[in-house]
Amino acid sequence: MPQTQWILISHPLCPFVQRVAIVLHEKGITFERVNVDLHDKPDWFLAISPTGKVPLLKVQHADGGGSVLFESVAICEYFEDLQPSPALHPQDALLRAQHRAWVEFASATLSDAWGLLNAADHETARATAAAFRKKLERFEADMSSGPYFAGNSFSMVDAVMAPIFRCFDILDFDFEPTHHVFDGLKRVANWRLALALRPSIQAAVTPDYAILFREQLREKDALLATV
């Protein structure tokens, strides 16, 4: 691989940043992480981010040239192409396309989960819990017997789902109307446990992540803030 530096522009709580960090750790790629305050975005960040969001990846070459990538899936796919081993997508073209579709489904799942986690009233919590549950049921029906989404091999689908499960692992709640979300989903439960134990997933956040996450919930007056 050419002498290139990778700088991941980040926020400590962003689940999309975690996706990229997990992939980088899985690939064994050394990178620098720079956090920005998304409540007070610096001018240099706004100048290079088309969406004003993280993650961004600054790619700096030894000859002084460089580029910026945005959107977590695009960044993850870049590293999959750049360093094919260990592979995070199946080699078979059809299976690879199916996995990419599940990555998109995981993004929709994250949206529902995030809505539930940040719900400030019971009506919103019930609606988002129901939507999240339906998506988990689809994973339960279509995934392998584990331990990962496609069996023994860790994949990109695992990388993009892990940040979702992490939030619920932190809260470990028993809270109406959300405590039935995972009930009866044995494959999902085993998957969630396997991901929590994966070193790349553990390394994708700082040691104070749980504290910061709870603080964010309190700032948003989320129902789950006190759980």
pLDDT value for 179: 59
Average pLDDT over residues 45-73: 95
With the CA atoms of 137, 138, 140 and 145 taken in that order, what torsion angle do they form, in degrees rounded to the nearest 10?
A: 180
Active-site positions read: 14
Separation between Cα atoms, residue 164 and residue 127, nearest integer Å: 18
CATH code: domain 4-82 is: 3.40.30.10
Confidence of residue 224 (pLDDT cuts 50, 70, 90): confident
138-173, pLDDT tens digit by residue? 999 999 998 999 999 999 999 999 999 999 998 865
As to burial, measured by CB atoms within 10 angstroms (0-12 exposed, 13-18 middle, 19+ buried), residue 126 is: middle
Topology classification of domain 93-226: Glutathione S-transferase Yfyf (Class Pi); Chain A, domain 2 (1.20.1050)
Residue boundaries of the structural domains of the chain: 4-82, 93-226
Query: What is the chain's mean pLDDT, rounded?
Result: 94
Average pLDDT over residues 111-134: 94
Smallest Cα–Cα separation from 54: which of 111, 7, 118?
7
Residue 123 has pLDDT above 80, yes or no: yes
Residue 73 has pLDDT above 70, yes or no: yes
Domains 4-82 and 93-226 fall in the same CATH topology: no
pLDDT value for 180: 84
Q: Is the separation of the CB atoms in 224 and 178 below 8 Å?
A: yes
Please tell me the pTM assigned to this model: 0.95
pLDDT value for 214: 94
